[in-house]
Chain A
């Protein structure tokens, strides 16, 4: 009989489909795992609702649970219980090491243009804070584009949500 610990360990091996350096567990999208009589229910929160990787994540989790010999049920929670603050410290470091600046912590108020245009964002390559906003949007809805004036590198900055 499969245990919740085995399910968590299996899910921790599934890479994010778009940024494979980080796993779904490190991304914080697996909210809960219930095991009951050979059935496994996973509560899963999407990152961005417009993210095209949602189905890929859901199917990958279901397949992994089936390979443990259990019947999967992946429940998608569309409340606001996921935020970028749920990315684990290990996940954040893996992102940074791969050239993706991890999201800034959520404040008590939503981000403002003044904040995004400030130099409070650190370059993932050289660590300088002398970086400029190039575009609020990037290759996926969850990222912005910034430019490091110090090492002259453009980089992708995770949005805080």
Chain B
């Protein structure tokens, strides 16, 4: 696999899995505004994943859906940080903060790429991510001195390095397999009358 396809898949997998995890707050976030915000952020991340998969799929001679749903859990290249099921709000916000911080650096590197397709898509994604970062910043400012939040940050921070460093992407957490089961269930069952 080309370096470009590998890079696109890593980022796409991060965004898909994080989008899926973020969507788990739909309906049960601590208050209505956050329900709306997290659902929107999840939707955006999955949209970014789709655009990245589409670019990778062209290089690999496949489709975005096949890349997103037809691989086995071991074939995903996402970082452990995005895989974790985090049922506490402070952990979710800690991950949101850590991910957006690392993703901003990653997008800045990609925007400077000589590959105009990658650079253009990164610039497009970055325009939308600005609002994710503002949302993360708002929560960081609000919780910065809360011990539960700082403990969650300390706990998750070691996992953030993998967002920027492929060497740190060493295998998956058991939670990825559980999530994969849920995420691909409809596609694998191929309900009557559907085709893809």
Using CB atoms and an 8 Å cutoff, list the residues of chain A in contact with chain B.
48-52, 78-83, 110-113, 116, 134-141, 145, 159, 161
Contact = CB atoms under 8 A, between A and B. Distances in A.
Could you say which of A78, A135, A159 has the most chain B C-beta atoms within 10 Å of its C-beta?
A78
Contact of B41 (A111, A137, A139): A137
B165 interface: no
A96 B39 CA distance: 26
Given A50-B46, A79-B121, A112-B134, A135 B128 contact: no
Interface residues of B, number: 32
Interface string B25-47: 00000000100110111011111
Interface in B131-159: 131, 134-135, 137-138
A116 B121 CA distance: 25
Contact of B44 (A49, A110, A134): A49
B50 interface: yes
27 contacts: A48-B44, A48-B128, A49-B48, A49-B50, A50-B44, A50-B46, A50-B47, A50-B48, A78-B51, A79-B116, A79-B117, A79-B124, A80-B120, A80-B127, A110-B127, A110-B130, A111-B130, A111-B134, A113-B137, A135-B33, A136-B134, A137-B33, A137-B39, A137-B131, A140-B40, A145-B36, A161-B130
